[in-house]
Amino acid sequence: MQPIAMSDKEQYTTMERILQEITAVSRRIEGMDASISSLTLETKSMRSDVAGFQSRVTGLEHRMGSLEAQEATSQDRDQDLLDLRSKLTDLEDRSRRDNIRLLGIPENEESTDIQAFLGSTLPKFTLLDFDLPLEFQRAHRVGLKRSDKSSRPRPIIACLLHHNQTRQILQAAHSHGPFRIGQHDIRITADYSKDTNERRKAFLALRPRLH
């Protein structure tokens, strides 16, 4: 069977159609190239963003590590301060171990010689017969004298020369106190540091339950 011959017009029309298809394909390829170029640029931009994000994350990790190290150092310092405060409180309490604190004694009751007053008054309060006369390293009232007579009298702090006498007085005060001068109740307590007194106050509500 012989092929059918095409006229010049038909050949021209076919070639024109083929050229149009080739042109369309070329345009599609160009469009794809442009899309690929755009995607390549976007990918590069995303990679750059990811690199920047990773850099920031790394920076944050370093800062977090630094903060954690600072926090650990701060906690160590806080613990050191607590230990130091505890030691200072213990030293202060030891320095006060020969002290007694007398509460409620009216102002000017001791006249001009507070040590002589305590030397004669404490045996009467405690009903103790001391082997040696009471001797004091020092004795004084705490704080400024109040002008208001209705105010609570200032405490007296006395430091005894012999620790055994301090212990005997405190034991007697614990067993038999409070004592009285006229209409006034007198209490005798140990002399503690501020921190120790605050810790003891925290247990006041529990004492009845413990008894």
**pLDDT single digits (tens) 26-51:** 777 777 777 777 777 777 777 777 77
Q: What is the pLDDT of residue 200?
A: 83
The token duo for 200 is 């003891």
Average of pLDDT values for 173-183? 82
Q: Which of 20-34, 172-186, 193-207 has the lowest mean pLDDT?
A: 20-34
Q: What's the CA gap between 4 and 96, in Å, rounded?
A: 131
Q: How many CB atoms lie within 10 A of CB 173?
A: 21
pTM (two decimals): 0.59
Q: What is the pLDDT of residue 165?
A: 93
**pLDDT single digits (tens) 76-129:** 787 878 888 888 888 898 999 999 999 999 988 888 899 999 999 999 888 888
Q: What is the pLDDT of residue 189?
A: 92
Q: What's the CA gap between 138 and 100, in Å, rounded?
A: 11
Question: What's the chain's average pLDDT?
Answer: 82
CB 187, CB 173: distance < 8 Å? yes
